[in-house]
Amino acid sequence: MSVTGKIKRQTAVEIRNRKGSDPLVCLTAYTTPVARLTDAHCDVLLVGDSLGMVVYGFDSTLPVTLDMMIRHGQAVMRGSQQALVVVDLPFGSYEAGPQAAFDAAAQVMSETGAGAVKLEGGVAMARTIEFLTARGIPVMAHVGLTPQAVNAFGGYSVQGRGAAAQKVMDDAVATARAGAFAVVLEKIPAVLADRITEEINVPTIGIGASAGCDGQILVVDDMLGLFTDFRPKFVQRYGELGEAADKAIADYAADVRARRFPGPEHVFGDEAPKPKG
């Protein structure tokens, strides 16, 4: 809370300074109602390009556009007050080079008011991260399993096992040195995540990584159990809202078909209300 009494939104600098402190709580959010529910409990709300699958039903994140990210970023900003809002740069909007990345990031930040952007990639993206941060754009990095590279990986398999561990380590170190304020570690062995967390001087945010990371993030729909048929190993279900919603909708459908809904309490009479007094 600021001296004016207005809730102060967290910044990328504050998140960076949480390295080695209390664990950072992060969740995805794509809509205003979900942002309102999660904001008071989270340090970071990520408007992830995972919305392509979660909201739009795509098979991957690849079809997501910059306009989609901006519209959902605006929605999450309207629903939040204190969490740092980070918006993913979608596939194809930043890989061409630092200037293309700057143009995309600047558009996202100016049109949403978000406090940072996130991009995928390690050593190959270090120059781009340095270019953005030098121009006032805070960047969250993302290494390990990077969903935008799913075709190159041949699927969503664990990264960094065996000899491949050094590449993930190099990627994390490169992004931290380039100026990223935090690094997401996705779907890598716990021992590697712990090594990276010890090695780099910015917070690590784990998803399918290690409890030793400086913070954790999950897709909110997965954590709430909104998808009854999707149970990845690294997700803890803190609710079964999908089952609850299915039952509620089934009960509603049954009441409509049996003409139990609407009841007398849900409809309006002919008489106008009498004036008071």
- 146-164, pLDDT tens digit by residue? 999 888 777 788 999 999 9
Residues that constitute the known binding site for 3-methyl-2-oxobutanoate: 49-50, 88, 118
- 27-45, pLDDT tens digit by residue? 999 999 999 999 999 999 9
46-76 burial, b at 16+ Cβ within 10 Å, e below that, comes to bbbbbbbbbeeeeebbbebebebbbebbbbb
With a cut of 50, say whether residue 3 has pLDDT above it.
no
Residues that constitute the known binding site for Mg(2+): 49, 88, 120
Query: CA 140, CA 62: separation in Å to the nearest integer?
Result: 19
CB-based contacts of 187, cutoff 8 Å, min separation 6: 144, 145, 156, 157, 158, 159, 207, 208, 209, 234
Residue with tokens 């954790």: 216
- 224-253, pLDDT tens digit by residue? 999 877 788 888 999 999 999 999 999 999
> 69 with 88: CB under 8 angstroms?
yes
> 109 with 117: CB under 8 angstroms?
yes
Query: CA 231, CA 78: separation in Å to the nearest integer?
Result: 30
Tell me the catalytic residues: 186
Confidence (pTM): 0.93
CB-based contacts of 71, cutoff 8 Å, min separation 6: none
